[in-house]
Structure 1
Amino acid sequence: MSEPTKIGLTGAGGLGMHLSRGFEDTEDAVVHAVADVSDESRNRAGERLDIPEDRRYSDHIEMLDDAELDGVVVATPHTFHYEQTLAALEREIDTLCEKPMTTDLADAEDLVRRAEDSSATLMIGYQRHLDSAFLTAKEALAEEVGEPTFITAEVTQNWIATQRGTWRTNPDLSGGGQLYDTGSHLLDVVLWTTGLTPVAVDAQMLFDDDEDRVDVQAALTVTFENGAVASVAVSGDTPTVREHLHVWGDNGGFFVEGEDWDPRKIRFIAPDGGERQPRLDRWGSKNKAQAFVDVIRDGAEPPATPRDALKVTAVTEAAYESARTGKRVDIDL
């Protein structure tokens, strides 16, 4: 039998442990080592994952240099992603970096360059790239929609009530607020499913802090190179989780919608108003852990790439600048 694929996990909090369960469900893959600055989190994860004490690290770099890994997962607070991912790429270790890739546009551009020059592969943790509804929407875009001209997207969540006081509302760790958290997924599917190039952002935000760094609600108008416009709304102060992506073009449109964290549903809308709801193949869907193991073992193309993530960071950073200055902010990718 071949050796199992050895994964290192940096960040043993809720997201890191959720990802670790995905590796447990993946044949011939194992979380081989864990790194976390918190003794409690690191040891709890080590016990849960049956990792011996000599492979439980307080330092990410030490784990990369010592643990003989095939791949590493970076599931730490957002502002650590750049340096930790860069360290893995410099050691030519395949890396799954949770979203957002970075909270700084220059850092995002640098990681794209580094990843494309490296023999290692960088995958970004935008799991909607593995959801069959969004995949169906992207694959059928040309036939069912044509070139997109108008997009609306919205996500709601009771975010601030549950996250206030955690690292997610500390902008030194999170980079911002709700837009850099769940809102990052929404921006990603707008940009990824349509394939459009953003050129400008106008944004308004409601902030939870005096320094206007932690947004609770955001409303963005994104203009694209082809003249299309997207209206994107993100709320972290609503009682339930709802998400929708509506894309219109000359041939019709599609609606991807859902609630809570369940798989999304899709409808195609014809020019005459008729609707079609395709049957989705849920059985063939992979989780992020399984997709990452395919990247490591088989050299598969990552479902979400650094260039996908670069677009998201560019729009996000432009949105914060626009909200704070009251001006339209241009984007040059």
Structure 2
Amino acid sequence: MSGTTTNPEKLRVGVIGGGYIGTTVGRQFEEDPRSTVVAIADVSEPARDEAGDTLYVGQGSRYEEYTEMLAAEELDAVLIGTPHVFHYEQTMAALDEGLHVLCDKPLTTDRGKARELTERSEQSDQLLMVGYQRHLNQAFIRARERWDETNLTPRFISAEITQNWISRFEETWRTDPDLSGGGNLYDTGSHLIDAVLWTTGLKPTSVQAEMKFADEENRVDERAQLIVEFEGGSSASISVYSDAPCVREHIHVWDDEGALYLEGRQWEPRQLTEIEEDSTTVIPYMDNRVHESKAGAFIDCIESGKEPPATARDAFAVTALTEAAYESARTGERISINLD
């Protein structure tokens, strides 16, 4: 249906996918006085009913097929929180209906489709935002300013995340490559890759990757180690370890005047540490209670016409690097990356 809001007081949101993203981000829309969730679509009846109850959606607006929801409901926007391989067709269908889209990461699991959605979004009046939440995190925003607002260039990056991903998601869609597109590099690892690219502003040109796979078809990575080269000669090592007992993340970025460390445990807010060239360590104060929600940022951008915090072009770069890394791991060759 039309993406023009007839009631300016409430953005009418349809949720596609009643799982974790659909319910948690859906609640953000319900809690924001500028929006309301009016419909839910999920192929699973239990998930559909649980999400419907959580988001106060009536039985008559709960759909098995998202296409039925798009055709029947008066919507202004959709939230997409389905398995990764469905994001392309669902995002495109919503844009075709003139709707704004908040799509969970990754935008797609195919470089060509990611490029198509990027070009489509940049030529459209509809907003397409991707759910990379580090773009809303104060530590990452503060770090990005160092290289976005100065003449300094990141030279050497090491980034790592550990998680008990394999055991936690065994026998779920996340470990089914037909639904997820791969392994943890396309899941939690996607956030790490995005954080490196977005925070530094660097453009990857090639990647050499080694992976240990958890399946016989070599599709679900258990360990992934990437060496990425960027325009201008900068480089990064990016590692994702999916059989660790707990979550730890670090991103260390060095330039000619020192470094920034972004570190944290579990899913708590990350801490930013500044390393100066004389080895002095500074921990800037940040109020981690101030954290804009994905739904709030999405609505802000619709109202203001501003670019979303995480764009389709940001997501395209992540998909391009991720796909190249899988290709490199399977072939043993360094793979070029073309973002033009």
TM-score tier, shorter chain, comes to over 0.9
Cα displacement (A) at 1:21: 2.0
Q: Any conservation in 1 of the 2:327–2:335 contact (CA below 8 Å)?
A: yes
1:51 aligned to 2:57? yes
TM-fit CA distance, 1:141: 2.5
Structure 2 CA distance for aligned equivalents of residues 332 and 142 of structure 1: 22
Partner residue in 1 for 2:175: 169
What count of residue pairs does the alignment treat as equivalent?
333
Residue correspondence of structure 1 range 126-165 to structure 2 within 5 A: 126-141=132-147, 146-165=152-171
**SS of corresponding position for 1:108:** helix
Q: What is the deviation of 1:3? A: 3.3
1:73 matched to 2:76? The reply is no
TM-score, normalised to structure 1, is: 0.97
| TM-superposed deviation, 1:282 | 2.9
Aligned counterparts, 1:1-333, within 5 A? 2-141=8-147, 146-333=152-339
Specify whether residues 41 and 146 from structure 1 end up closer, same or farther in structure 2 by C-alpha distance, changes over 3 A only: same
Whole-angstrom distance in 2 between the partners of 1:4 and 1:295: 15
Q: Distance in 1 between matches of 2:120 and 2:71?
A: 19
Percentage identity across aligned positions? Answer: 52
* Cα pair 1:33 1:67 within 8 Å, conserved: yes
Shift of 1:298: 2.9
SS in 1 for 2:260: strand
- How far residue 60 of structure 1 moved from its aligned partner, in angstroms, is 1.2
Counterpart secondary structure, 1:128: helix
Residues 146 and 35 of structure 1, relative CA distance in 2, 3 Å threshold:
same
8 Å contact kept, 2:26–2:79: no
1:69 counterpart letter in structure 2: L
Shift of 1:179: 0.2
Partner SS for 1:243: strand
Deviation by residue 1:101-156 (Cα, 9 ceiling, x = unmatched)? 00000000000111112110100000010000000000123578810110000000
Distance 1:309 1:224 in 2: 17
**Which stretch of the first structure deviates more once superposed, 198-207 or 13-22?**
13-22
Supply the distance in 2 between the matched residues of 1:129 and 1:283 (Cα, whole angstroms). 16
Cα deviation, residue 301, structure 1: 2.0
CA offset at residue 90 of structure 1?
1.3
- Write the deviation string for residues 180-212 of structure 1: whole angstroms up to 9, x where unpaired: 000000000100011111000000001010000
Deviations 1:54-75 (A, max 9, x none): 2111111221222111110110
- Find the aligned partners of 2:15 and 2:335 in 1 and give their Cα distance: 37
Rounded Cα–Cα distance in structure 2 between residues aligned with 1:65 and 1:284: 38
Structure 1 unaligned spans of 5+: none
Q: How far apart are the structure 2 equivalents of 1:66 and 1:282?
A: 41
CA 167–145 in structure 1, closer or farther in 2 if over 3 Å, else same = farther
Are the equivalent residues in 1 in contact too, given 2:275–2:281 (CA < 8 A)? yes
Deviation, structure 1 residue 23: 1.7
**3-state DSSP class of the match of 1:256?**
strand
- Higher mean C-alpha displacement, 75-84 vs 17-26: 17-26
Deviations 1:198-228 (A, max 9, x none): 0000000010100000001100000001100
> What is the Cα deviation at residue 33 of structure 1?
0.6
Which is further off, 168-177 or 25-34? Answer: 25-34
Q: Following TM superposition, by how much is the alpha carbon of 1:31 offset from its aligned partner in structure 2, in angstroms?
A: 1.0
Change (3 A) 1:297 1:278: same
In the alignment, is the contact (CA less than 8 A) between 2:161 and 2:192 conserved in 1? yes
Note if contact 1:33-1:56 (Cα within 8 Å) is conserved in structure 2: yes
3-state SS of paired residue (1:140): helix
> What is the TM-score when the length of structure 2 is the normalising length?
0.95
